[in-house]
Amino acid sequence: MQKINKNAVLALLSLTSLVFLLFQLYYYKFYLSQKNGAVFSKVRGSQSGQDSTRWHVVRKFLGLLSSHNIPVYLIDPLILGLVDKDFEQIRSSPDSPSPECRYFCAPRDFTTFALLDKTWKHEVGLFRTAEKMGFQWLKIINKDPRLDGMDDLSGIEIPLHYIFKLASHAIHLVVFYERSGNYLWHGPLRLKQHMDRKFVPFRKLHFGRYPGAYEKPELLLVSIDDLKVQIPKNPSSFLEEMSHSRFLECRYREARAFFQLYPDDASLDAVEFRKKAKSLLHLAALTLNNLGVKFWLSSGTCLGWYRQCNVIPHSKDVDLGVFIRDYKADIIPAFQKAGLPLKHKFGKVEDSLELSFQGEDDVKLDIFFFYEEDDHIWNGGTQAKSGKKFKYLFPKFTLCWTEFVELKVHVPCETLQYVEANYGPDWKVPVKTWDWKSSPSNVQYNGVWPVDEWDDVIQIY
Amino acid sequence: MDEWKPNPAIKPHKKRSWYLAWKYKLMNQRALRKLCQTGAVLFLLVTVIVNIKLILDTRRAAYEEEEESAQDYDDEMLNVEVPRHPVSNKKVLDVEVYSSRSKVYVAVDGTTVLEDEAREQGRGIHVIVLNQATGHVMAKRVFDTYSPHEDEAMVLFLNMVARGRILIFTIKDEGSFHLKDTAKNVLKSLGSQVAPFLSWRDMWTFVGKKGGEVYGEKHAKSPALSTWGDPVLLKTEVHLTSVEDAECHWPDTELNRRRKRFCSKVEGYGSVCSCKDPTPIEFNPDPLKDNEVFDVPVAVIAGNRPNYLYRMLRSLLSAQGVNPQMITVFIDGYYEEPMDVVELFGLSGIQHTPISIKNARVSQHYKASLTATFNLFPDAKFAVVLEEDLDISVDFFSFLSQSIHLLEEDESLYCISAWNDQGYEHTAEDPSLLYRVETMPGLGWVLRKSLYKDELEPKWPTPEKLWDWDMWMRMPEQRKGRECIIPDISRSYHFGIVGLNMNGYFHEAYFKKHKFNTVPNVQLKNVESLRKDAYETEIHRLLGEAEVLDHSKNPCEDSFVPDTEGRVYVMFIRMEQEADFTTWTQLAKCLHIWDLDVRGNHKGLWRLFRKKNHFLVVGVPASPYSSKKPTSVTPIYMEPPAKEEGAVAVPAVAAAEQT
């Protein structure tokens, strides 16, 4: 009796363990095919099988695209970061076989590639081949921002992101569009209601939380881990650019509403002024960019962008902001060289610096320098005849890209606070008479320049 | 291993003894055995527990991950899903058709799909085509068979409709006066009993399947010439077929999927939807060598004339050097059918909410389209602007590719146009010849981005101004003395008969006989001499070699030009100052070329062909070329017609501009 019992127990346990073994195998398989690698790798930790999976997925994906003649380039910050460390070596020996998988096997959930929209046709064939190769894919489309600024055009929605998933790894393909202002733009990644929220851990994506603006990159064909792939020619500057790439779209809908209330000035004068302001802004942007001085739209120009997506025709100048830490002595000669003579200079580098340049036909370019304090940022103003100083206070802000009069420029990301600080809660109402000493709601009296400094801090040409 | 083999030679007894021996042996090591057993049990239990834990862990990890993964990426705007009508599985459609003097309507399952009670409009036979599987309206047409030739158009249309479709006919006002036997026979072949006997002011409704059964027909005879037949209302039921039966079985390719989508929605496009051997929708014309315009965006300006758009896109996509990726069709209004046509060809289309009315609407549509084009292609320096009622010549892009550098380099140029206003069958001859003209012809032209962005866009007429965009562009404030380059033989053909400012008569008189190049790969010959100064040299050379015609003869007569070929002739007309076109207008009239306003001039000089001779007309003394006139020659002066006619011509000019 006892013997039988023991045998039975043994048999039962063997059976159970067999069942569990099968179950484990099934579960393993299920994981590989259904769930993303993130969960898996988190639990299991990194292991060599996983590493080579990533490499294989990337290889398959590159094969898929090259079979359809679609040129992509690598923008994955993780891999580019690794590549950047060994950049000299990679660049100098483009074809040498690599002894070990150092980049594409690095633990991560995604590999990110970029695709220029105009270099491919939105073809169905790609997805069919992808499916045949075992990829699952997700396409994120949205409105075309290039048509957003226009009244009542309803274009087709454009693809912004693709995600290809195979086994435990996913490829994030970001579609870049060329926009007016000679830059590249990628859209935000927003899931529509019916979409599978669990397709991949979207939070871990490096691109898509916000739209982004980039310069057109120069590309370099390299061989990384025995895979031929295009990467930005200068990975470190690309990574730097990426960290400040957030893009704000102009508020076209609000701008249209504004023009409903206050019809646009279509007089010849207004047209002319806008044209001049635009070319002055282009010239200023070119000059400052060449110097490597970061600037943003300030005061009236910023208000024009924010409120009506255009230059305010009754403003008489173009206003830019620059952080004082970015000040360079070359600024004045550079503008003079560009044909914009200095009109006046108020303040000094240590305090309330402000430069004005004379553009074509009375259109003036004002550059205000901003001083950062612990809890606010300010710029200064000076009244020439009395030597009075003024201070304009702003809450702290960061810089975002936007597009304005066919130019990629910076604006404060927290634009509303910035505009409200400057123009008060009624910024939506156009005001034709504006006194820079008293009208701004953030102005503070800041004393008087000592008379002996006047020659230095009040220069008028 | 050998011992394990069952050996038939060994006796069972022996086997048993071996088993006992083994058992005994193990019994002797009881302690060890027990240990082994316990170990195994423990091991198995641990495995089970670990496994269960693993499963639970991964589950929870995955769940947490998913929970937080997507929040940031949710579309902020909740997608308001349009509640879809449940697909009705109904197999029967109720159809109501009404015919009367002043009103017609058709209702399908209670939904009115046609209603026309406008006065002075919609006379004739209304035809509606329904999909036999879904009941959707695929085409709606009205043929004014009271007027001549409309019955032919109806026959053409009915022949294009695929077999099996459901056809609904109803007459408004009068539909028999010019309904000839051919058309009546076609209606009869569809199963109509009444059609052959339809007569003056009869009312008639008919529902039938093409090539199949008749669902109903009603007819009311007109009792007398001066009165109409009584209104008739036909109520009938139509049995739907299955979707499979209503579709063709083309091989499953990307192209055919597009075709299928198109053909299940609309009707009246003929062989593109034919089940056997359908006409291609991809053309793959030869690429152009050194194509300078491959990256130039093409904006097709369209309204709601889908059949025109279809014809236009076919010719455009067949032109050598076309790049379909650069084509965008801009549709003025939310019309479905033009969009279907655009999708059929795999192009991108953009719809534009109509702003304003009439000319201003067209003008606003142009502005939006041009702005959008340069937004979508920010790299482009130019845009090709086309309209939906143009045929495009096979060498259209070749023509542009050879000439576009001029527009980039020569500041004195305003545009390049594919259209020669004066290029009729009898006045154009040389496909390789180009001109400079002071007028802007439009009808297939190239616009420079800087011109648009810096000059035109900021000043574009606002919606409340009922201006024609092209008239506005021709105004001196905009044109600023710049000129356009045009070919002698047009690279586009204007086939539109219905349009804002267009009607059949007008088209016949001014557009039908226009010459259109059909020769591929024409090598343009005088491209460099079209630059501002070079062109003057060229004109002086031409005038120098030109023979002066006999000015005593009537320039309208054929004999004015000798029966030669390939010569250059010049005539001088009176032109007191720059804006004096009295004689020119009369000359244009008798030559049967464009005479509604002045077109095709360059500094008081017109260039055309007569009897295959190059024929130059110089306005004296306004033209700087007047100096070429021999002193003995008196410029010809032609009397303008009586005032009355002039007055009639004025509205015609306005009507001619935009089509």
Q: What CATH number is associated with residue B326?
A: 3.90.550.10
Beta-carbon contacts of residue A389 (< 8 Å; ≥ 6 apart): A347, A352, A380, A381, A382, A445, A446, A447, A448, A449
Q: Rounded to 5 degrees, what angle do the CA atoms B374, B390, B513 make?
A: 145
Evaluate whether residue B87 is within a structural domain. Answer: no
B649–chain A nearest CA distance, Å: 34
- When CB atoms are compared, the residue of B57, B334, B378 closest to A182 is B378
pLDDT of residue B90: 59
Chain B residues in contact with A150 (beta carbon < 8 A): 368, 371-372, 375
pTM as predicted:
0.80
Residue A84 to residue B350: CA distance in whole angstroms = 43
Alpha helices in B113-178 (DSSP H): 150-160
Shared domain for B471 and B411, answered yes or no, is yes
Q: Indicate which residue of B202, B470, B488, B595 is catalytic.
A: B470
Shortest CA gap B578–chain A (Å): 28
The answer to the question of residue B552 being in a domain is yes
Contact B368 A42 (CB under 8 A): no
Nearest Cα neighbor of A85 from A111, A106, A103, A110 is: A103
Q: Is B254 in Cβ contact with A182 (below 8 Å)?
A: no
| Residue B140 to residue B131: CA distance in whole angstroms | 12
Domains and CATH numbers, chain A: 50-245 (3.30.460), 252-460 (no CATH)
- What pLDDT was estimated at residue B629? 92
Question: Does B386 share its domain with B522?
Answer: yes
> CA A158 to CA A175: how far, in whole Å?
9
Chain A CA closest to residue B50: A20
Task: Note the pLDDT of residue A324.
Answer: 95
Of B55, B70, B458, the CB nearest to A191: B70
User: Which of the two residues, B528 and B360, has the higher pLDDT score?
Assistant: B528
Last residue of a domain, one of B461, B495, B527: B527
Q: Do A16 and B48 touch (CB under 8 A)?
A: yes
**Could you read off the pLDDT of B249-301 as tens digits, one per residue?**
899 888 899 999 999 899 888 889 988 889 999 998 999 999 999 999 999 99
Query: With the C-alpha atoms ordered A290, A293, A296, A301, is the resulting torsion angle positive or negative?
Result: negative
| pLDDT at position A401 | 97
- Residue B389 falls in the annotated catalytic set: yes
Residues of chain B neighbouring A179 (CB-CB closer than 8 A): 375, 378
Give the pLDDT of residue A46: 43
Residues of chain B found within 8 Å of residue A124, distances taken between Cβ atoms: 254
Confidence of residue B61 (pLDDT cuts 50, 70, 90): low
The two three-digit tokens of residue A15, written as one number? 């059976």
B320 and B223 in a common domain: no
B146 within 8 A of B137, measured Cβ to Cβ: no
For residues A70 and A115, is the Cβ–Cβ distance under 8 A? yes
One domain, residues B437 and B362: yes
Residue A403 CA to residue A349 CA, distance in Å, equals 30
| B369 and B491, same domain (yes or no) | yes
How far B266 CA sits from the closest chain A CA (Å)? 21
The pLDDT value recorded for residue A48 is: 59
| Rounded mean pLDDT, B19-27 | 66
- Rounded to whole angstroms, the Cα distance separating B259 from B257 reads 5
User: What pairing do the DSSP bridges indicate for beta strands B232-239 and A169-179?
Assistant: unpaired
B81–A203 C-beta distance less than 8 A: no
**Least CB–CB distance from B372: residue in A153, A181, A191:** A153
* Burial letters A382-407, b for 16+ CB under 10 A, else e: beeeebebbbbbbeebebbbbbbbbb
Q: Is residue B41 part of a domain?
A: no
Report the DSSP pairing between strands B483-487 and B413-417. Answer: parallel
Range of the domain at B471: 298-527
Residues lower than pLDDT 50 in chain A: 35-47
Q: Would you call B372 and A146 a contact, using CB atoms and an 8 Å cutoff?
A: yes
pLDDT at B89: 57
B478 interfaces chain A, CB cutoff of 8 Å? no
How many angstroms separate the Cα of A200 from the Cα of each of A72, A190, A374? 21, 13, 40
- Pairwise CA distance, residues A62 & B470, whole Å: 50
Range 324-343 of B in CB contact (< 8 A) with A: 325, 334
Residue B540 and residue B457 share a domain: no
Q: Tell me the average pLDDT across B69-88.
A: 47
What residue has token string 């200068």?
A234
CB contact under 8 A, B37 and A6: yes
Domain count along chain B = 3
Q: Which of B62, B78, B377 sits opposite A35 (nearest CB)?
A: B62
Asked whether the beta carbons of residue B62 and residue A39 sit closer than 8 angstroms, the reply is yes
Q: Is the pLDDT of residue B344 over 80?
A: yes
**By the 8 A CB rule, do A208 and B73 touch?**
yes
CB–CB contact A179 B61 (8 Å): no
* Cα A385 to chain centroid, rounded: 43
| pLDDT tens, position by position, B423-436 | 999 999 999 999 99
d(CA A99, nearest CA chain B) in Å: 34
Distance from CA of B353 to the nearest CA of A (A): 5
Nearest CA among B427, B591, B430, B622 for reference residue B526: B430
pLDDT at residue B84 in the model:
42
Question: 3-state class of B114 per DSSP?
Answer: strand
Asked if A274 and B254 come within 8 Å (Cβ–Cβ), the reply is no
**Closest-CA distance of chain A to residue B227, Å:** 48
Is the same domain home to B520 and B537? no
Cα–Cα–Cα angle for A118, A119, A122, rounded to 5 degrees: 75
Indicate which of B36, B72, B79 best probes the interface with A, i.e. most A CBs within 10 Å of its own CB.
B72
Contact B428, A240 (CB under 8 A): no
Task: Please tell me the predicted confidence (pLDDT) of residue B248.
Answer: 87
B130/B128 Cα distance (integer angstroms): 7
One-letter amino acid of A386: S
Domain-located, residue B2: no
Asked if the Cβ–Cβ distance from A147 to B58 is below 8 Å, we say no
Alpha carbon distances (Å) from B566 to A119, B261, B487, B547, B581: 48, 53, 18, 12, 28
Q: Is the CB of B371 inside 8 Å of chain A's CB atoms?
A: yes
The alpha-carbon gap from A118 to the nearest alpha carbon of chain B, in Å, equals 8
- Of A118-122, B413-417, B582-586, which range is least confident? A118-122
For residue A118, list chain B residues with Cβ-Cβ distance below 8 A.
Answer: 325
DSSP conformational letter for A203 = G
B9 lies in a domain?
no
The C-alpha atoms of residue A188 and residue A122 are separated, in whole angstroms, by: 19
> CA of A156 to nearest chain B CA: how many angstroms apart?
7
For chain B, the residue count is 659
Whether chain A has a CB inside 8 Å of the CB on B558: the answer is no
Residue B55 is nearest to which of A27, A197, A203, comparing CB atoms? A27
Sheet holding B613-621, edge to edge: B547-548, B568-575, B613-621, B605-610, B601-602
B357: pLDDT strictly greater than 90: no
B234/B206 Cα distance (integer angstroms): 8
Element (H, E) at A142: strand A136-142
B30, B44, B336: best to mutate for the A interface, most A CBs within 10 A = B44
Residue A3 has what pLDDT? Answer: 55
B118 inside domain: yes
User: pLDDT value at position A40?
Assistant: 40
- What is the torsional sign of CA B288, B294, B296, B301? positive
B565 touches chain A (CB under 8 A): no
Hey, of B27, B46, B52, B58, which one would you mutate to test binding to chain A, going by the most A CBs within 10 A of its CB?
A: B58
* Chain B residues with beta carbon closer than 8 angstroms to that of A27: 55
The helix (H) or strand (E) run that includes residue B66 is helix B30-69
* Token digits of residue A355: 């430069």
Residue B547 has pLDDT above 90, yes or no: yes
Taking alpha carbons only, the member of B127, B320, B143 closest to residue B210 is: B127
Whether residue B307 sits in one domain with residue B238: no
Tell whether B581 and B457 lie within a shared domain.
Answer: no
Using CB atoms, pick whichever of B72, B78, B81 lies closest to residue A209.
B72
Res. B402 pLDDT band, cuts 50 70 90: very high
Nearest partner of B649 among B600, B596, B570, judged by Cα: B596
Q: Is residue B45 part of a domain?
A: no
| Contact criterion met (CB < 8 Å) for B48 and A274 | no
Q: Give the number of beta-carbon pairs within 8 Å between A and B.
A: 140
Which chain A residues are closer than 8 Å to B48 by Cβ? 16-17, 20
| Domain-located, residue B221 | yes
Strands A364-372 and A377-382: antiparallel
Backbone φ and ψ of B41, nearest 5°: -60, -50
Q: How far apart are CA B336 and CA A164, in angstroms?
A: 33
Sole residue written with tokens 């009075």: A388
Which residues, in sequence order, are CB contacts of A109 under 8 Å at separation 6+?
Answer: A36, A37, A38, A41, A169, A170, A200, A201, A204
Residues B449 and B306 in one domain: yes
* Nearest beta carbon to residue B372 from set A147, A178, A191: A147
B196-250 pLDDT tens trace: 999 999 999 999 999 889 999 999 999 988 999 999 999 999 989 888 777 888 9
Check CB contact under 8 Å for A43 and B379: no
CA distances to A111, B31, B243 from A241, rounded to whole Å, are 19, 73, 54
User: What pLDDT shows up at residue B446?
Assistant: 97
The residue of chain B nearest to residue A25, with distances taken between CA atoms, is: B51
| B265 sits in which H/E element | none
Closest chain A residue by Cα to residue B449: A180
Instruction: Name every chain B residue with its beta carbon within 8 A of the beta carbon of A207.
Output: none
Do both B570 and B456 map to the same domain?
Answer: no
Measured in whole angstroms, the distance separating CA B208 from the mean position of its chain's CA atoms is 31
B343 sits in which H/E element: helix B336-344
- Please give the helix or strand (H or E) that residue A137 lies within, else none: strand A136-142
Domain end, chosen from B471, B501, B527, is at: B527
pLDDT for B647 beyond 50:
no
The mean per-residue pLDDT over the stretch B578-592 comes to 93
**Is pLDDT larger for residue B566 or for residue B63?**
B566
d(CA A94, CA B23): 70
Which is the catalytic residue, given B389, B395, B421, B597? B389
Residue recorded with tokens 């000679």: A182
Angstrom distance (rounded) from CA B113 to CA B105: 8
Residue A85, number of CB atoms within 10 A of its CB: 12
**Angle between helices B30-69 and A37-44 in degrees, nearest 10:** 140
Gap between the terminal Cα atoms of chain B = 99
pLDDT tens for each residue of B139-191: 999 998 988 888 888 998 998 888 889 999 999 999 999 999 999 999 999 99
Q: What is the pLDDT of residue B17?
A: 67
Nearest-CA distance from B79 to chain A in Å? 6
Burial of B493 (0-12, 13-18, 19+ CB in 10 A): buried
Nearest CA in chain A to B77: A192
In B160-189, the residues whose Cβ lies within 8 Å of chain A are none
The verdict on ipTM greater than 0.85 is no
Q: Select the more confidently predicted residue: B54 or A320.
A: A320
Mean pLDDT of B584-590: 93
Tell me what percent of the residues of chain B surpass a pLDDT of 90: 62
3-state secondary structure B210-257: CCCCEEEEEEECCCCCCCCCCCEEEEEEEECCCHHHHCCCCCCCHHHH
B542 and B480 in a common domain? no
pLDDT at B337 over 50: yes
Interchain proximity A190–B73, CB inside 8 Å = yes
Q: Do A156 and B462 touch (CB under 8 A)?
A: no
